[in-house]
Structure 1
Amino acid sequence: VVAGETTEVTYVYKEVTGDVVVHYVDTEGNVIAEDKEDTKGASLNAKYDTTDNKPEKIEKDETVYYLTEKALKDGSKPENGDVVEGTTEVTYVYEKAGQVVVHYTDEKGNTIQVDAVDTKDGKPNSDYNTADNDMKPNRITTPEGKVYELVDASTKGNETGKVVAGETTEVTYVYKEVTGDVVVHYVDTEGNVIAEDKEDTKGASLNAKYDTTDNKPEKIEKDGTVYYLTEKALKDGSKETGDVVEGKTEVTYVYEKAGQVVVHYTDEKGNTIQVDAVDTKDGKPNSDYNTSDNGMKPTRITTAEGKVYELVPTATKGDEIGKVVAGQTLEVTYVYQEVKGNVIVKFQDTEGNTISEDENDETNASLNTNYNTSEHKKATIVKDGVTYYLTDKALKDGSKPEEGSVVEGTTEVTYVYEKAGSVIVNYQTEDGTPLVGTADGANVESGVKDTTDAKAGTDYNTADNGMKPSRITTAEGKVYKLVEASTKGNETGKVVAGQTLEVTYVYILENVVPEPKPEPKP
């Protein structure tokens, strides 16, 4: 101590202070955010309040955390109080946010629309309702155009509820696909059904393409009647291609009855001479027909009875060429005239000369009618005093037969006749003087006819019918005796056509010895 001085001793003090630090952890104690210095170096007993460092939510690593209702961790210092020496730790506890996700599936569980987030990072225990924020559409149309309709009763999960911390609540809306059918009808032009409906598309997705052309037959037959698709094909309002729509799409094809073309064959009086021919059976309306180019127009027709008819082109009835008419039978009638023939009989001699007028055996007779000219075949004909006999052959070479069938035109049957032949007997002396006298009480003179106008080939015999007397007595009483060996000509033989055969018997006076004939010179 120094006298008279004041010695000062100064004690230096440092203020005792306190800190307040705020921690942030999840319900499992994991740190989810950096600590915050709420109070640094504060005087003891100073008031602190950490509520300004108490965020409602924290996001870490893309995870959202919400302050729990209790807020402070068990054992944590209170969020407000007096600062105390050292470090006061206040720990807030957070829980993970909750999610609410909506799924959209069909009845088989296939996803038909991407999931929708109804609640993203929602505060636990907060209310959610997936039905009131467009999360529950009545219909869904996929990018492909398919349409689905909600099946309310099939919803999975709770549409309303509380967000659950750290969990994803799932609500699944189930949809049934809305489909459409396409049905094809078949009717005639009067609206009558001509065939059963065809299901072209059954239960198809909406907006799918349909095409009924594969159920579009060109023709339909019902109860023996054939129908063809009309040129327009579709009934007004029908579409054979398009998009399937909800419900039933009806496509109606319209058909018209087929047409017929029938050919009749008649004679000029309208009598049928041949059964009808069908040129076109069940033809497509408006298609071409031509009855003249398919064997339907014969130039000639021969009936079962053999009659022959020839076409009269100018008499044809109806149109040979044209268009088939729906539901109608067009008729074409070909008219024919009967082709007839004549049969005449001619009479000629062997030189071709006519010896009698022609005779008609058949006049305008139907062809193939049987004829027989034998009733015109005379055994003999006399012309200009000359008798003609039918030859054994009877018919002229090249003549038609006397029996046959009538043919077109004139059939000529020519009978050939030959002149009759005669045989005369002459009587003369050896010097050629004709003898006239009697024999056996009968007159005798040269030129007597043994055979008159006889048929050629007829036998004659001048010796057996009194034509050969052994003696002739003249008017002067001279008696001539037959010289058998001197007979000229043939006593027997055949009559020759057109000739007069002569047989000459030679006589000498009885009891007169004839002079010997000179011997022929060697």
Structure 2
Amino acid sequence: DDQGHLKSTDPTTGKVIEGDKNVTYVYKLKETPAEPKKGEVIITYVDENGKEIEKPRQDTPNSPYDTPYNTTEEGEKPNTIKTPDGKTYKIVPKGDYPVGKVDEDGHLESSDPVKGKVDKPKSIITYVYKEVKEEPKGNVYVHYVDTEGKTIKSDVTDEDAQPVDKDYDTVVDNRPQEIEFEGKTYELVPAGNYTVGEVDDEGHLKSTDPTTGKVIEGDKNVTYVYKLKETPAEPKKGEVIITYVDENGKEIEKPRQDTPNSPYDTPYNTTEEGEKPNTIKTPDGKTYKIVPKGDYPVGKVDEDGHLESSDPVKGKVDKPKSIITYVYKEVKEEPTQPKGNVYVHYVDTEGKTIKSDVTDEENQPVDKDYNTVVDNRPQTIEKDGKTYELVPAGNYTVGEVDDEGHLKSTDPTTGKVIEGDKNVTYVYKLKETPDKPVEPTPDKPVEPTPDKPVNPTPDNPVNPTPDKPVNPTPAKPVDPTPAKPVDPTPGKPVDPTPGKPVDPTSGKPVESTPAKGQLPNTGETTSVGSTVLGLVAGLVGLAALGRRKEEDEK
């Protein structure tokens, strides 16, 4: 059945019966698919006579038939081959050779194609080469030894496999003036005879090849000779240390180096700023003061507070370590007096800061008087291009303000310093700028030019007739010629009513009346009106005189 069960046998499942049941499954031999044919591709390299010059190379490992191959890829068909015996071979051009016919690829035509597909168990592609005779070459080596002939530096290759007759020069870059070897310094020797042999003025061992010349076929060896460089004797040196002790010689501060390790005779001075402090405070809170001249348990002390048994406070380095000791005595400090600060703040009516805080009193004793009004209460403050002024007394968003512009909820503007901080706040508002009034430009009053007066004949005076007064025709109003305005008297400017700029009526003619002349409003009192009236009266008089004269002539 479909379970591989032989149906003529007992069922594959069921119940056990007394006795036996036999179930049989049927199998067949599994068929193995046929192995595909495979092959490999090998490249061989031979000379013109067919002699192998390099080991064969596998281009394609065992692969199924129809697998593509290409033996002309990089490294598989080199133009030149160098053999272990030093010979050089070059791939041959197209032609007939003892080994057979060769195509333009240097490929032996009788071997398998250089490109194709695997079609047999082993494909062999052969490339043919011909030995080429190279021109002779040589090397130049440089050696470095001491006067005993011991090598002190690794050899250097100055020229490597270079053509014969090429120039070489070992002096330029392979003749160092000094060589470091095993922690010592060696220098080129001067000309002379040494254990190793005679040396010329280049430090060159004359028995070796020249320092410069031409490459020969084979090797040249150039040797330079060096000697141990003599190191001048190290000058004696010393340091200067300052120590700080109490009267009993106990250290109260870490020693200080005044002069680092320096040659003998180097001047030193331990009294310079910071090196001999009058007072020292120790980490445990104690204070020490330098002692006066006298005898103390530690020893005799001079007027510098310097322990005389120690080295001098000034001098020159003359030994490996000079120690100068200053002596101090503990002083009992008075209890610290409590102190406080007073800070001033500047805000607008909303409480926004408009100026940096100012410290009116800093770290001052308790009960010291302070006054922020005198120098830390500006009337106006400039911020962001705007001007703020102290507010009058009143209630604002920020709080109640007194008549000093002081926020009453903060500390008083004057008073005494307390332990800790006091904070005084002044309140400002944006300063209102009134509208700029228009300054009137007064017209220049006309200065009338009087006509040339007529001198009456002295012997015939004219008396105007009283019962016949001339009523002069009112003169044509004079338009004053605008010109230079009259400047108001300095120090007494005309203040126009704010918000109601003056509207000068420039060009409005002055209306003259027989009794009164009116001038433009220039801000000054003038006599022009009187002058005009005088001229009018003069003209009237002249007219009357003329008529009287005519009557007399008649």
- What is the TM-score of this pair, normalised by structure 1? 0.22
In terms of Rg, which structure is larger? 1
- What is the TM-score of this pair, normalised by structure 2? 0.21
Greater strand share, structure number: 1
